[in-house]
Chain A
């Protein structure tokens, strides 16, 4: 939903394990979704996107799943590495409205 000033939820995973980061989006009219990665002190970086006519899209070590029925988006990271430690934001857009960013999830990768 709308980004608000909330403290970020945290996910802690062991290096080498798979990570799953979830996002509930707010607008049923949204038809384009993006995942961003933000490392400390840097701007958000585009990871992967998906359109609403798809329910899965794969990239390098990352997979995005879209469930329009329950308005849910997830990012799966395979074989998580220390360099994956960051805050991950989902974003929704479409239907002529501005992009809405999720609150973000902080991923900690334990060595």
Chain B
């Protein structure tokens, strides 16, 4: 598999500020990472696909100017929530895509970041 870390594990910020979340692939060079958000007692909602060295691909309804994604290296992707508001409070999770053999695209997840916007 792949070992994935996230930092910070939790953050509380004031409304209107920006928050950066880091996702690191510790033992695998990841050309593709994914960012999800998850509300309490709900499933994972894909926000965007982060591609190393190119622009992220955002899902429908996700504002690319609000959720800035940078994947500058094979081991690091960052998600910046700009001008955060209380409705952005959620659990943000990243994953690394690993293809060990053709047709087996497996995602390994980070531990998640709990964002609370006051």
Name A residues whose Cβ lies closer than 8 Å to a Cβ of B.
3-8, 31-32, 34, 36, 41-46, 49, 51, 89, 91, 93-94, 98-99, 101-104, 106
Binds A, one of B12-20, B40-48, B68-76, B79-87: B40-48
The interface size of chain B toward A, counting residues with CB under 8 Å, comes to 25
Name B residues whose Cβ lies closer than 8 Å to a Cβ of A.
1, 4, 6, 39, 41-46, 49, 91, 93, 95, 103-112, 114
Shortest C-beta distance, B58 to chain A (Å), equals 13
Are B104 and A103 touching (Cβ within 8 A)? no
Are A43 and B46 touching (Cβ within 8 A)? no
Number of A-B contacts (CB under 8 A): 64
Are A6 and B43 touching (Cβ within 8 A)? yes
B residues in contact with A99, CB < 8 Å: 105, 107
Are A3 and B105 touching (Cβ within 8 A)? no
B residues in contact with A5, CB < 8 Å: 39, 42-43, 45
Are A101 and B43 touching (Cβ within 8 A)? yes
Are B107 and A91 touching (Cβ within 8 A)? yes
A7 with B103: in contact, given A42-B111, A42-B112, A43-B110 (CB under 8 Å)? no
Are B42 and A8 touching (Cβ within 8 A)? yes
Are A43 and B43 touching (Cβ within 8 A)? no
* 8 Å CB contact of A51 from B4, B46, B104, B112: B104
Q: Is the interface of B mostly helix, strand, loop or mixed?
A: strand
Cβ-closest chain A residue relative to B101: A51
Are B103 and A31 touching (Cβ within 8 A)? yes
In the bound complex, CA of A32 to CA of B1 (Å): 16
A4 with B93: in contact, given A49-B104, A49-B106, A99-B105 (CB under 8 Å)? no
A residues in contact with B6, CB < 8 Å: 43
